Amino acid sequence: MKNTIIAIALFLGAVNGSAQTTILIPASADNTIYQSPSGSSNAIGENLFSGTNGGGSTRRCLIKFDIAAAIPAGALITQATLTLNCNTSRSIADDISLHKLLSNWGEGTSNAGAAGDGSGIAATTNDATWLANFFNISLWTLPGGDFTA
C-alpha cells in the first residue's frame, strides 16, 4: 500500500432514506502496471502512475476497495467520492478514466522506488502486470487488464 491515503467516501442512506451515514474506506490493495512485455510492476512502491509517459507507453493504476465488508446489509449507496492527488505530471494533459476491473488481481512485493517508480521493476509472485493479473499464476484475458469500457 502507498504511504498516501487512498480512500473512497460512500454516503449511505437507509432503505427508507431517513438516515445517512458517511463511511471512509481505505484501499485494500493498489498497484501500477506498465505497458511492457517484461512484466514490470510497482505493488508497494510509494507512487501510483496512470496515463502515458514521454515515450507513449501506458501506465495503469489499479486500486481495490473492499466495499462489501464496510457496507451494512440492506444499505443503499446514494453517492460515492474518490479523491486522488497528483504530485507529478507531464507538461501535456492526460485524460484519466475510471473502469471496473472484471478479474481479481494481485499486489505482490515489487517496489520500484529505488528505480524511480516510473518504469516499474521486475514483478514478484502475485503482482499484477500488463499481461498477468497474478504474476507467475494467471493471465488477464486481454493485455492491460480486463475492465469495463
Per-residue pLDDT of 58-84, as tens digits, reads 999 999 999 889 888 888 888 888 888
14 within 8 A of 45, measured Cβ to Cβ: no
Of 123 and 10, more confident: 123
Q: Report d(CA 63, CA 134) in Å as an integer.
A: 15
Of 80 and 106, more confident: 106
Domain boundaries, the chain: 7-87+97-139
